[in-house]
């Protein structure tokens, strides 16, 4: 039996959904895209809602996959109408405090399934009897984030992530991020570089980020939230590129990775420095771990893997 998907997708200067689209196609879906942010900017909010419903009504797809992270995009009635025309999934690989995602909890009972980026959101829903929810990881564009097999290094250590301290965004570990960057600049000088909005190296596009990982010995991962089973998609970008990943520990990491096999992790800045010094000096061990981690991620954590997981969960 053939299956089809209407993908209500995100496309922006810093992110596009092409890799997710390929994941659907690799899973045998007939694929129909709808870039909701672009349509909203050009046609307005009300026209967006009408157009999405009309598209779903015309296609009657097996799956309506909504990559919606903004409560203003669809009103409650839009979700209800969409559910009349296909199995609706809402997905986000972003996280916020529970008070900021209440709208997703309210929508969840009225659509097919909601996939969250952390287990806290799943438990919050379960407590009030909402069971059609799951936690799922993100991925990255593995055609872009791949190894160039170069053994030339511009930096020993890099971190690619925006600066959010002293902003109106409620990110609890934003200050920790900047403390980490200051610590690394103090101890490693010009052999460390940070990239991102507000960081020393400035904002870079995904193509440049992939190159940065290929020409660095070690890449740091640090999340703005410490939540169970949540990690930024940065971790997949680093590892898929073949760079050695040293990540800040997050609860549930042991369910995904083996320490010192796929990557390594740290709990505080003193431990971070110990591990950095070790892996900078031990090229062979760092290389082996980075290659094992790269192969593991590319084989088990692609967008095609995620779509398979979603299909199995939703019994599509």
Give 268-280 pLDDT, tens digit per residue: 999 999 999 999 9
- Tell me whether residue 274 is in a domain: yes
- Tell me whether residue 144 is in a domain: no
Statement to judge: residues 278 and 309 lie in one domain: no
Statement to judge: residues 20 and 133 lie in one domain: yes
- Locate tokens 């073949």: which residue? 242
pLDDT of 67 above 80:
yes
Statement to judge: residues 228 and 267 lie in one domain: yes
In CATH, what number is assigned to the domain containing residue 209? 3.40.50.2000
pLDDT tens by residue, 15-46:
889 999 999 999 999 999 999 999 999 999 99
Round the average pLDDT of the chain to a whole number and report it. 96
The pLDDT of residue 1 is 62
pLDDT of 200 above 80:
yes
User: Rg for the chain (alpha carbons), in Å?
Assistant: 20
Statement to judge: residues 77 and 187 lie in one domain: no
Statement to judge: residues 165 and 281 lie in one domain: yes
For residue 264, the cross-strand partners are 246
The pLDDT of residue 169 is 84
Cβ-proximal residues to 176 (8 Å cutoff; 6+ apart), any chain: 222
What does DSSP say about strands 244-248 and 216-221: parallel, antiparallel, or unpaired? Answer: parallel
Statement to judge: residues 19 and 131 lie in one domain: yes
- Tell me whether residue 66 is in a domain: yes
pLDDT tens by residue, 145-179:
999 987 789 999 999 999 999 888 889 999 999 99
The pLDDT of residue 220 is 98
- Tell me whether residue 212 is in a domain: yes
Residue 166 domain boundaries: 155-300
pLDDT tens by residue, 217-261:
999 999 999 999 999 999 999 999 999 999 999 999 999 999 999
Instruction: Check: CB of residue 178 under 8 Å from CB of residue 165.
Output: yes
- Tell me whether residue 120 is in a domain: yes
Q: Please, what sign has the CA dihedral across residues 97, 100, 105, 108?
A: negative
The pLDDT of residue 166 is 87
Apex 117 CA angle, 173 and 129, nearest 5: 115
Statement to judge: residues 192 and 277 lie in one domain: yes
Statement to judge: residues 289 and 160 lie in one domain: yes
In CATH, what number is assigned to the domain containing residue 111? 3.40.50.2300
Q: Which residue pairs from 88-92 have beta carbons closer than 8 angstroms and sit at least 24 positions apart in sequence?
A: 88/64, 88/112, 88/113, 89/63, 89/64, 89/65, 89/113, 89/114, 89/115, 89/310, 89/314, 90/66, 90/114, 90/115, 91/65, 91/66, 91/67, 91/115, 91/136, 91/310, 92/67, 92/68, 92/116, 92/117
How far apart CA 127 and CA 112 sit, in angstroms, is: 18
- Phi and psi dihedrals of 91, rounded to 5? -135, 140
Statement to judge: residues 107 and 238 lie in one domain: no
Statement to judge: residues 172 and 251 lie in one domain: yes
Statement to judge: residues 184 and 78 lie in one domain: no
Statement to judge: residues 122 and 162 lie in one domain: no
The percent of residues above 90 in pLDDT, for the chain, comes to 91
How many domains are contained in the chain? Answer: 2
The pLDDT of residue 292 is 98
């Amino acid at each position: 039996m053939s299956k089809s998907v209407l993908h209500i997708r995100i496309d922006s200067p810093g992110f596009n959904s092409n890799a997710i689209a390929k994941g659907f196609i690799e899973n045998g879906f007939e694929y129909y895209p709808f870039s909701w942010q672009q349509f909203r900017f050009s046609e307005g909010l009300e026209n967006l809602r009408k157009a999405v419903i009309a598209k779903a009504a015309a296609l009657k797809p097996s799956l309506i996959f909504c990559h919606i992270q903004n409560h203003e995009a669809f009103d409650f009635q839009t979700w209800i109408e969409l559910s009349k025309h296909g199995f609706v999934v809402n997905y986000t690989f972003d996280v916020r405090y529970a008070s900021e995602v209440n709208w997703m909890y309210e929508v969840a009972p009225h659509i097919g399934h909601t996939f969250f980026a952390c287990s806290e959101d799943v438990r919050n829903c379960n407590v009030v009897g909402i069971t059609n929810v799951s936690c799922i990881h993100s991925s990255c564009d593995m055609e872009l984030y791949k190894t160039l097999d170069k053994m030339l290094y511009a930096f020993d250590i890099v971190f690619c992530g925006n600066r959010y301290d002293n902003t109106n965004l409620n990110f609890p570990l934003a200050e920790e991020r900047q403390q980490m960057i200051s610590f690394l600049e103090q101890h490693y000088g010009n052999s460390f570089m940070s990239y991102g909005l507000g960081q020393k190296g400035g904002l870079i596009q995904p193509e440049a980020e992939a190159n940065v990982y290929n020409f660095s010995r070690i890449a740091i991962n640090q999340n703005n939230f410490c939540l169970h089973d949540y990690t930024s998609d940065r971790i997949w970008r680093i590892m898929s590129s073949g760079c050695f990943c040293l990540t800040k520990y997050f609860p549930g990491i042991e369910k995904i990775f083996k320490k010192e096999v796929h990557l390594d992790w740290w709990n505080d800045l003193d431990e971070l420095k110990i591990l950095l010094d070790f892996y900078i000096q031990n090229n062979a061990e760092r290389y082996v771990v980075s290659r094992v981690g790269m192969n593991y991620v590319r084989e088990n954590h692609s967008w095609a893997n995620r779509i398979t997981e979603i299909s199995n969960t939703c019994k599509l």
